[in-house]
Amino acid sequence: MRLFDTHCHLDFDIFQDDFEPQLKSAYEQGVSRFVVPSVGSSNWAKVHQMAAGHTDIYYALGMHPYFLHPQSIDELPTLKEWLNRRSHQCIAVGECGLDAMVKVDMALQEKVFIEQVRFATSCQLPLVLHSRKTHHRILQILKQEKFQFGGVLHGFSGSYQQAMQFISLGFYIGIGGVITYPRANKTRQAVAQLPLESLVLETDSPDMPLNGHQGKSNHPKMLGEILSCVALLKGMSEQTIAEIVWKNSNSAFCICE
């Protein structure tokens, strides 16, 4: 069984002291591919270098809304340069999007996000989308920009109807630890109904700990527990789910299997 963690921050400090053993522990649980999205200029070089040393690690270059500041506008040309000279393991623009839950000016968030959508179009790359309480506005911008290269709506925790709107624009839905919580009724029901062909799995490590692991750092090796939860919600075997989401994950980022 092959698993693909489509969103994990392996470059964060918590993984660095014993990186190879950390990676090995994920391999031992069947996780054999990873996408590491960047959050801003502070880690573009780091995710690039990490992927250069590991053929099973892919990365995305972008600017996360949480980490934006007034000077972020000035960093956009540098992001475009990074994308123009990207390696083949750079498979998306992101993590980018909008977040209504952080104290970052929404006008700034929108300007930076729109530019990243345009970069993705010019590079013909998918997007890794971050959205909290902003699904409607992100959908408006994607339609306004006539974006056609799809990607993944990361860390989904919305309704079936919201997810289907992104799927209609060519996006896959990133399913993470939130579905392991019984109280996440709306999202669990949505996952049960959504077409399996539109789902990918993620941990968002070291964030978004699974139910029963609150207060601990998350890890790609936990991806199998998310798979088990999806299988339960879908009433299907884990093997069947794993095979389909493996294909979906590679398709989302145009990676050869």
State yes or no: 56 annotated in a binding site. no
State yes or no: 154 annotated in a binding site. yes
Q: For residue 29, which of 243, 220, 247 has the smallest C-alpha distance?
A: 220
What is residue 255's DSSP assignment?
-
| Element housing 128 (H / E) | strand 127-132
State yes or no: 204 annotated in a binding site. yes
Return the amino acid letter for 226. I
State yes or no: 81 annotated in a binding site. no
* CA dist., res. 210 & res. 118, Å (int): 35
CB 173 within 8 A of CB 166: yes
State yes or no: 95 annotated in a binding site. yes
Annotated binding-site positions: 7, 9, 95, 130, 154, 204
What residues form the annotated binding site for a divalent metal cation? 7, 9, 95, 130, 154, 204
